[in-house]
Amino acid sequence: MGLVLGIDVSTTATKAVLVDEEGTVRGVASSQYDYSVPTPLWSEQDPGLWWDAGIDAIRSVLGTTGLTGADVVAVGLTGQMHGAVLLDEGGAVLRPAILWNDQRTAAECDEIRRAVGPERLVAITGNDALTGFTAPKLVWVRDHEPDVWRRVAHVLLPKDHVRLRLTGDYAIDKADGAGTLLFDLAARDWSSEVLEALRIDPAWLPATWEGPEVTGTLTAEAAAATGLPAGTPVVAGGGDQSANAVGVGVVAPGTMALSLGTSGVVFAATDRPLFEPRGRVHAFCHAVPGRWHMMSVMLSAAGSLRWYRDTLAPGEAFGDLVAPAADVPAGSDGLFFLPYLSGERSPHPDPLARGAFVGLTVRHDRRHMTRAVLEGVAFGLRDGPT
């Protein structure tokens, strides 16, 4: 029975999962790394970390399952969305990748709205200009790092840089492409109007593919590094949220999913390119051909609980931290937590939004604070789709 290898290039680890033809997970491995915050609001990462961790994760999952690369018949890719990976003509990385949670580009978002027109921008892309998207990052580099800008020949997203290392091909799936703010949502391809308005060379952008399509095959060099066979097909895949939706079966209109990681996402599949007129929730292409989706995103969901644990109870198991909060009544006796530790996206697109505990009194203890964090995240998720 042939196996499919999935590679997930996330913000803090690259993961490898082996799945057989019946959908059974045969093995999972991951290799962790960190990202840098060189100045407040910034978030960057060395793309070399993804490839090195990918090699480690692939070899680890093969080793721990007792399987070999010869058992793998195809590779699929997913990962963190919206990042900006800038490469020169030879494919060399020009600067650290700017990640999805980077918040430096508020001024560039205003510039994009002026250049395209706010209503026209949403009509074309399905989205308002938000700091997390790729397009504002490119405008920032254009205006602040002209030496880098002059050398740009290719723009990729994080998982597609790993694809390049696997196959030697520049390619991107339509779901992840739609998250750049450079896509024509209805046409499912790059928008010449937006690219022209932002002075971005269309030659820099790779060909776009539907999620199940094969974009290339493993090179001999990648095969030697990973232990997989040369010539193994690599499919387009999708950004992490659209891939997650496929995995849990949210592909038909009317189905929805909630996912919690560093961020929190409410995801709804559609059969046509719908969008919210003010862009308060996202509208992207799905990884499934002929499908789109709408998505509400809060930036610090489970990330809020992790920050709370690491700051006030370092090393404590999450279960031990959370269990006592069950004794606290709903509403945490008047204590509230605002989960805006990294700014916010839906439905409050504000990179400068800040978190807070509100209503602290001497009667509150750690149980109340823990429950307030959980309630703040829950209501933040409820707030988004409204």
Q: Is position 240 annotated as part of the catalytic site?
A: yes
- Entry pTM: 0.88
Tell me what percent of the residues of the chain surpass a pLDDT of 70. 99
**pLDDT at position 352:** 84
Could you tell me which residues come within 8 angstroms of residue 128 by beta carbon, excluding any fewer than 6 positions away?
Answer: 109, 113, 118, 121, 122, 278, 279, 280, 349
Are the beta carbons of 177 and 285 closer than 8 angstroms? yes
Options 173, 201, 240, 271, the catalytic residue: 240
- Going through 35-131 in order, the beta strands assigned E by DSSP cover 44-45, 72-79, 85-87, 97-98
For residue 40, pLDDT beyond 90: no
Q: Between 158-167 and 47-65, two packed helices, what is the crossing angle to 10 degrees?
A: 70
Tell me what percent of the residues of the chain surpass a pLDDT of 90. 89
Residue with the larger pLDDT of the pair 131 and 47: 47
For residue 98, pLDDT beyond 90: yes
**Of 103-107, 122-126, 287-291, 348-352, where does mean pLDDT reach its minimum?**
348-352
Average pLDDT of the chain to the nearest whole number: 95
Residue with the larger pLDDT of the pair 344 and 150: 150
**pLDDT at position 54:** 97
Arithmetic mean of pLDDT, 43-60: 97
Arithmetic mean of pLDDT, 11-26: 94
For residue 13, pLDDT beyond 80: yes
Q: In the structure, what pLDDT confidence band is assigned to residue 280 with cuts at 50, 70 and 90?
A: confident
Cα-Cα-Cα-Cα dihedral sign, residues 48, 208, 102, 337: negative
Arithmetic mean of pLDDT, 151-166: 98
Strand order in the sheet with 25-32: 25-32, 13-20, 3-9, 72-79, 233-235, 214-217
Q: In the structure, what pLDDT confidence band is assigned to residue 342 with cuts at 50, 70 and 90?
A: confident
Arithmetic mean of pLDDT, 248-273: 92
361-384, pLDDT tens digit by residue? Answer: 999 999 999 999 999 999 999 988
User: How many CA atoms, within 13 angstroms, populate the side-chain half-sphere of residue 268?
Assistant: 16
For residue 1, pLDDT beyond 80: no
**pLDDT at position 386:** 66
- Going through the chain in order, the beta strands assigned E by DSSP cover 3-9, 13-20, 25-32, 44-45, 72-79, 85-87, 97-98, 154-156, 171-173, 183-184, 189-190, 207-209, 214-217, 233-235, 256-260, 264-270, 282-285, 292-298, 336-338, 356-358
For residue 103, pLDDT beyond 90: no
Arithmetic mean of pLDDT, 270-274: 95
Q: In the structure, what pLDDT confidence band is assigned to residue 9 with cuts at 50, 70 and 90?
A: very high
Are the beta carbons of 295 and 287 closer than 8 angstroms? no
Residue found under tokens 């196996």: 3
**pLDDT at position 332:** 97
